[in-house]
Amino acid sequence: MNKILIVGPSPHMLTGYGIVGKYLIEGLIKNELNVKFMGLQTQGKPYNDYELPYIEDLDYYINRYEITHILTIGDFIPKFEKKEGLKWIHHATVQNYPLPRVIKDKIKGADVLISPSPFVQRMLSNSGLKSTLIPHAFTLPITNKERPDILKDKKIFLCVGTNQIQKNIVTVIEAFRKILSRIENVVLILITNPFEQGGLDLHKIFQNLNFPPNSVFFYQGKYGYSLTREELAGIYSFSNIYVSASMGESFSLPLLEASFYGLPAIVPEFSASGDFVETYERGLTIRTKLMQTNYSLSKQALIDSNDLANTMIKIVHTKKIKFNSKDFELDNVLTKWLQIFK
């Protein structure tokens, strides 16, 4: 029997890849596969029966549990001994272009490469690497949460993402500030931690821009700025438009989730999010002001806040858009993963 070890962001972190890993693991277990998971942020006592604490010596887990398949998810690739009978599958993250050589050198030894989007598959192919396309799965509960009284009769722009420089949330804030004098009854909801370690002090930026009261909300749930899936689903259900100024995306799970709830989207024309909006006619794309080169010698999009502001005004009267999520439903995505493992 195949014995699988998955290595990736811990499933209790409520980040995009944490969520992807959680539902993939539980789906594989439900299909009677033998799965263990080493969470990169899991210290001490694990949260689930299948979860293992993080250790640097991955070979210990491989030998102890007689692992036959190892799946690495995201950017972190641990060192382990590649031996006979052990198959390595890597779920690739590529946000920019071209594929940095340092990443190519790390992943080229994988037996199977998985791309979550056509953009990633193209970037790998351009570097001579063949991959299998398996998208992320939609896993939010269906809900119709009533809009809070303070947001009644408002047109709500929703931005979801970690507070890291590549998500470029500050440009969304800047663009929203520019439309307030041009259009009435609009609100920006930010699902992010304005004080996140390694991010920008978004709360200070927000204060310095002197926004009118109740025009911007850093939404909190019962776990603070980390929302549960149920809380996030409720916000999608009463919002109107999804907006992102991300410098590059490997997939963009929030964009898929917002699309499921019918929200038209504004995203950069670049990378996986631009591909998604254009392929499924999900909304409008923003032109990139320029492509800047980052530390890994790849290029990422820089967004013009004026163009974003104009696009936000253009889309504000758009009605909900129907979206067929069949390709991204968990059972259909799991079928593709089962083919890899079985």
Per CATH, the architecture of 3-138+328-341 is what?
A: 3-Layer(aba) Sandwich (3.40)
What CATH architecture is 149-324? 3-Layer(aba) Sandwich (3.40)
Place of tokens 């689930």: 48
Tell me the domain boundaries of the chain: 3-138+328-341, 149-324
The answer to whether 143 and 237 have CB atoms below 8 angstroms apart is: yes
Burial class (CB in 10 A: 0-12, 13-18, 19+), 66: exposed
Render each residue's pLDDT in the chain as its tens digit; 342 residues.
899 999 998 877 767 888 888 899 999 999 999 999 998 888 777 767 888 988 888 999 999 999 999 999 988 888 898 888 999 999 999 999 999 888 999 999 999 999 999 999 999 999 999 999 999 998 888 888 999 999 999 999 999 999 999 999 999 999 999 999 999 999 999 999 999 988 999 989 988 988 999 999 999 998 899 898 899 999 999 999 999 999 999 999 999 999 999 999 999 999 999 999 999 999 999 999 999 998 888 999 999 999 999 999 999 999 999 999 999 999 999 999 999 998
Spatial CA neighbour of 220 closest among 234, 241, 206, 240: 234
Q: How far is CA 290 from CA 198, 247, 255, 299, in A?
A: 24, 10, 23, 9
Q: The pTM is what?
A: 0.94
Domains 3-138+328-341 and 149-324 share a fold: yes
The pLDDT value given to residue 192: 96
